[in-house]
């Protein structure tokens, strides 16, 4: 399962846990209903700001919603916050490239971990 699928599954699972429809999530997150639908279908990969709105509506950590390993709260370093702000200012194409690079690093790490066992 790639990172986009993980994100979608986490949103859907939390929606189900809270008994929320797409319409209700849209209302609570102040995102259009069509925007929520496009996110849940995988048509678009939302920006960090949008993930934060959805996470707030679902009462979860946005970093976990974006694909982190656990749901615990995170205390971000200044460097991490600056990186997030830099990504937020990127064009969609640049964010896509960064996302692909992150996926590559994660898959490489997973392969290395499997070969160590």
Q: Could you give the number of structural domains in the chain?
A: 2
Among 85, 77, 83, 52, which residue's Cα sits nearest to residue 66?
52
| Confidence at 3, pLDDT banded by 50, 70, 90 | confident
pLDDT at position 41 is 95
Predicted TM-score of the model (pTM):
0.61
Please check whether residues 63 and 90 belong to one and the same domain.
no
**What is the rounded distance in angstroms from the CA atom of residue 4 to the CA atom of residue 10?**
10
State how far Cα 36 lies from the chain centre: 13
Is pLDDT at 10 greater than 80 in this prediction?
Answer: yes
Token pair of 89 as six digits: 């200012």
**What is the rounded distance in angstroms from the CA atom of residue 60 to the CA atom of residue 101?**
25
Q: What is the pLDDT of residues 35-83, one digit of tens each?
A: 999 999 999 988 888 989 999 899 888 888 888 776 554 556 667 777 8
**What is the rounded distance in angstroms from the CA atom of residue 113 to the CA atom of residue 107?**
10
Structural domain span for residue 27: 1-71
Please check whether residues 31 and 86 belong to one and the same domain.
no
Please check whether residues 22 and 58 belong to one and the same domain.
yes
Please check whether residues 59 and 81 belong to one and the same domain.
no
**What is the rounded distance in angstroms from the CA atom of residue 61 to the CA atom of residue 68?**
9
pLDDT at position 117 is 62
Among 65, 34, 72, 71, which residue's Cα sits nearest to residue 51?
65
Please check whether residues 46 and 95 belong to one and the same domain.
no
């Amino acid at each position: 399962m790639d990172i986009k699928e993980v994100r979608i599954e986490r949103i859907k699972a939390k929606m189900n846990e809270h008994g929320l429809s797409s319409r209700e999530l849209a209302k609570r997150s102040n995102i259009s209903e069509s925007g929520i639908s496009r996110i849940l279908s995988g048509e678009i990969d939302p920006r960090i700001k949008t993930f934060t709105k959805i996470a707030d509506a679902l009462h979860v950590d946005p970093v976990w919603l974006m694909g982190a390993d656990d749901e615990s709260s995170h205390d971000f370093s200044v460097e991490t916050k600056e990186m997030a702000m830099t990504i937020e200012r990127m064009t969609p194409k640049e964010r896509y490239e960064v996302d692909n690079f992150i996926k590559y690093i994660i898959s490489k790490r997973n392969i290395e971990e499997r070969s160590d066992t």
